Amino acid sequence: MSSPARSGFRQGLLHAAGIPAMVLAAGYVGFGALAAGHGLSLAGTLLSTLLIWALPGQLILVEMHTLGAPFLAVFLTVVFSGARFLPMTVVMMPLLREARGRPVHYYAAAQFVAMTGWAWTMARFPDMPAERRLGYFFGFIAVLMASALASTALGYLAGDLLPPMAKLAFVFMSPMYFLLLLAGGTNDARGYLAIVIGAVAGPLMHFVAPQWSVIVAGFVGGTLAYAAHRMWKKGGLQR
Amino acid sequence: MSEYTLLAIACGLGTYVWRGLGVAVSARVRPESELFAWIGCVAFAMLAGLISRVVLIPSGALEHTALWQRLAATGFALAAYFLFTKKNLFAGVIASAAAMYLILLLS
C-alpha cells in the first residue's frame, strides 16, 4: 500500500472505533440473540454477517427460514432486499476512484458497502484527498466487521445467559436499529411514501402468503409508491 | 451443511451481485435515473414491510411480548432518535432496548 493509502487506512480504523462500531454492535448483539432464540446455528449466523453484510437481509433470512419458507423464496427476498446497494455503490465509486487504484480494489470494496459504513465514510470523503479514501474505507470497514462479528457471537452466546426480559430487550434492538436507519436515511417524499405503503403492505400480505409476503409487499408497495409519486409530480407540473 | 448455512452463503453471493454491478455500471449510469428510483422504492417498501411485520406480527422470542408493549417501545425509540437526540442512532437503539425492558418489567 502506498503511503497516503496506509495513513488513510489507519485514520479509518481510528474513526470507526467509537460510535460507528458501537452502533453496529447494538444491532448485531440483538441479531445474534434473535438467531439463537430461533435455534439456528452459530456458524450460519456468523457467515450471514460476514457474507450478506446487511442486517435487514440477515433479519429476513432468519425470519423467513424460521417460518419454513422454501429456499428460493428466502434467497430471492434476501437478494432483492439488498437492491439499495446498487445505487449506493454507484454513488460511492466515483469518490473512491484514484489514479493508482485497480479494478480488484473496487470490486473488493463493494462487498463491504452497507448502510452504516457507507453513510459515515461518504460524509467524510469530500474533505479527504482522493488517494486516501480507498485505504480509509478499508480501515473503517475492518473495524466495523470485527465489531459486527464479535457482537453477533456475543449476542448468540450471551442471549441465553440473560434474564428473559433483558433478552427480549436485546432481540428488539435489531429491528429498531434497522427502522431508525431506514427512517433516518430518507429525506425525500418518495422514500417516505415507499416506507409507509410498505409498512402497511407487509403485514397485510403476511395474512395472504406469509412465505412470500416480504418480496410481494415490496414489489407491490414499492411500485405503488413510485407510481403515486410520479403521478403527483406530473399533476403538480400541469397545475 | 444445514439449509440455513447454505442459505447464508447463497444470499451473500446473491447480495454481492448488486454491489458488483454497482462498480461495473458506476461509470455509465446516473444514480438519479428513473430505474434506480423504482428499485429504491421496492427495496424501501420491502424493508418497511418486514419491520412492521416483525413489530405487529412477530415470530420467535418477540411473540412473548404484547402488541402494545412493542408499539410503545417503538414509539420511545423513534422519539429518542428524532426528537431528543437529533438522529443519534446509538441513542435510539439503546432507548428501544431500555424502553422494552422497563415496559416488560413494569407490566
pLDDT in tens, A185-231: 777 889 899 999 999 999 999 898 877 888 889 889 999 999 999 99
Scan residues 32-61 of B and list those with Cβ closer than 8 Å to A: 36-57, 59-61
Report the distance separating Cα A174 and Cα A96, nearest Å: 30
Number of A:B CB contacts under 8 A? 325
CB atoms within 10 A of CB A232: 13
Spell out where A137-216 has E strands: none
Residues of chain A with pLDDT under 70: 1-2, 236-239
The better pLDDT of the pair B68, B59 is held by B68
From chain A, the residues in CB contact with B29 under 8 A are 90
DSSP letter assigned to residue A212: G
A227: nearest Cα among A182, A193, A181, A187: A193
- For the segment B10-35, the average pLDDT, to the nearest whole number, is 88
Per-residue pLDDT, A197 = 95
Residue B37 has a pLDDT of 82
> Smallest CA–CA separation between B10 and chain A, in Å?
7
Residue with cell 417460518: A67
The answer to whether B29 faces chain A, any CB pair under 8 Å, is yes
Is A176:A52 a contact under the CB 8 Å cutoff? no
- What backbone torsions phi and psi does residue A113 show, to the nearest 5 degrees? -70, 120
Question: What is the nearest CA distance from B46 to chain A, expressed in angstroms?
Answer: 4
Locate the chain B residue with the closest alpha carbon to A18. B90
Q: Average pLDDT of chain B?
A: 90
Would you say B4 and A35 are in contact if contact means Cβ atoms under 8 Å apart?
Answer: no
CB contact under 8 A, A197 and B45: yes
Alpha-carbon distance of A69 to A202, in angstroms, equals 16
A105 and B CB contact within 8 Å: no
- What distance in Å separates the CA atoms of residue A223 and residue A98, rounded to the nearest whole number? 37
pLDDT higher than 70, residue B31:
no
Question: What confidence score (pLDDT) does residue A239 get?
Answer: 46
